[in-house]
Amino acid sequence: MKKRTSRRPPWRVALLATSVALALAACAVGPDFHAPAPPTVADETHPYTDTPVPAQTASAPVAAGASQHFANGQDIPALWWQVFRSPALDALIREALAHSPTLASAQAALRAAQESYNAQSGATQYPSVNAQFGATRQKTAIDTGGVPAGSVYNVFNVSANVSYTLDVFGGNRRELEALQSAVDYQRYQVEAAYVSLTSNVVATAIQEASLRAQLDATRDVVAAARKTLDILSKQVELGAVARGAILLQQTQIAQAEAVIPPLERNLALTRHQLSLLVGRLPGEAGLPTFDLATLQLPETVPVSVPSQLVQQRPDIRAAEALLHEASARVGVATAALYPQITLSGSVNRESFHLDKLFSTGTTGWTLAGGILQPIFNGGALQANKRGAIAAFDQAQWQYRQTVLVAFTGVADALRALEIDAEGLETTARAELFARDSVDLIDRQFRLGAVSSLAALEAQRSWLQTKVTLAQAQAARLADTAALFQALGGGWWNAGEHADISVVANAGAASAPAGGATTN
């Protein structure tokens, strides 16, 4: 009796081979990316500045002079510009979000990056399948296989080809990981465009308000100086003062009026910039105007903790995405050093007659497998790996620099809020004293108790303090906007508002299902 030998069924062999391939494919060479930890701060009571920031700022009895309180850990609203309580500003920013070419361009770049990921994902995760049909007509020159010389005949063929490269060492997965990081980078660029656009509109509106206040102050001083000139003219006619006093007063008026054209020019340029930001031509009508009286200073401003800041700042998130991409590129370069296994197969039918193309006996097939192992390439693959590692190191330092810049921006804004509030308080007092001095000297001048030179000096001092006051008021508003921008601009809450959710959805709507995973 013959001994029966155990033989595994073909399907078990195929299953075993598939299991082995999947086990090999479960790993990917190269570093597994881990997001950098938030920076540690020396003192949690003042994480951004070397000394504590006061709980609240100084105040002044003028517009934009309210005392501001710092709310540590408070979230930032998506519509943060509404803290200035200006309906015109709110409407203008919504228009900018809807029509800004810069924002639309960033959204288009995100869609392009997403489609690049989709294309590469389909090409690497699934087999390549192609079908081909061909027809030829030919004439033989010699006898070949029973076909007489000079015969003319047709050949029809149809084939299907399947090819797949096993991702044994994870090179394809690392490539997809890099492409997904590129998608993330573009998504953060959309967030950055949102923050930059809203902040620039606010800053430009505040600049317009400041220029208008400086113009009004200058014109007020000129008007007062002209009244003084009228009095001087009457006194000269009466012989009470010398004619030189009129010349001095006219010089004072001319100097003050000389300040007006540059201010008007800057105001026009600011208006043009505002039109540009909202996607309008400079000559289009309907752009609202802004002055300091219509912009209110918020009394409470948020201050995010450092761990929140690294998640809120789009530039930090973009730098992290570039770091992730560089990490994945190290894996791609490493996988290129290992063998590549390719499986392919094809089925084809061939016939001399089209109607018999699918008849019995016309079918052929091929199965093939190949392993490609790089042996010698002049050190190119090793150099590519070293270059990828160097690029990863570069991305790490760039990330570090981005974090430093972000923390510095918050520190600058906090100190500016503190110090500019003190500056506004001092300037407001100086302007009050200068105005009272002008009123007093003007009354004395009308009575002939003081000279025209004293009146001129008082008017000159008042002009300087009024212009400085307008600049100080605008500075407090601009500092507040700068802090909101430095803290990230509230883009993460944009999805709560249907009218601006296009910004948030630009990333979420086109995000890949599942995406690339990191270990």
Domains and CATH numbers, the chain: 22-127+168-337+380-508 (1.20.1600.10)
d(CA 49, CA 47): 6
For residue 12, pLDDT beyond 60:
no
Q: How much is the pLDDT for 507? A: 45
For residue 48, pLDDT beyond 70:
yes
Please tell me which residue, 113 or 9, carries the higher pLDDT value.
113
For residue 21, pLDDT beyond 60:
no
Contact by Cβ (8 Å): 87, 288: no
Please tell me which residue, 145 or 325, carries the higher pLDDT value.
325
Contact by Cβ (8 Å): 147, 479: no
Kindly give, in sequence order, each residue whose CB lies less than 8 Å from that of residue 76, ignoring residues fewer than 6 positions away.
302, 304, 312, 484, 487, 488, 489, 490, 493
pLDDT tens digits for 82-100? 999 999 999 999 999 999 9
d(CA 480, CA 203): 10
For residue 10, pLDDT beyond 70:
no
Please tell me which residue, 193 or 13, carries the higher pLDDT value.
193
pLDDT tens digits for 477-519? 999 999 999 999 998 888 777 667 555 455 443 333 333 334 3
Nearest-CA neighbor of 431 among 467, 457, 455, 456? 467
* HEC secondary structure over 411-422: HHHHHHHHHHHH
Q: What percent of the chain has pLDDT over 90?
A: 50
Listed range (11-15, 130-134, 381-385) with the worst mean pLDDT: 11-15
Q: How much is the pLDDT for 291? A: 93
> What is each CA distance from 128 to 102, 119, 160, in whole angstroms?
38, 13, 10
Residue at token pair 């930059």? 196
pLDDT tens digits for 270-287? 999 999 999 999 989 889
Please tell me which residue, 508 or 460, carries the higher pLDDT value.
460
Q: How much is the pLDDT for 145? A: 67
- Give me the sign of the Cα torsion angle 462, 468, 471, 473: negative
pLDDT tens digits for 418-438? 999 999 999 999 988 888 887
For residue 343, pLDDT beyond 70:
yes
pLDDT tens digits for 208-237? 999 999 999 889 888 877 877 787 787 777
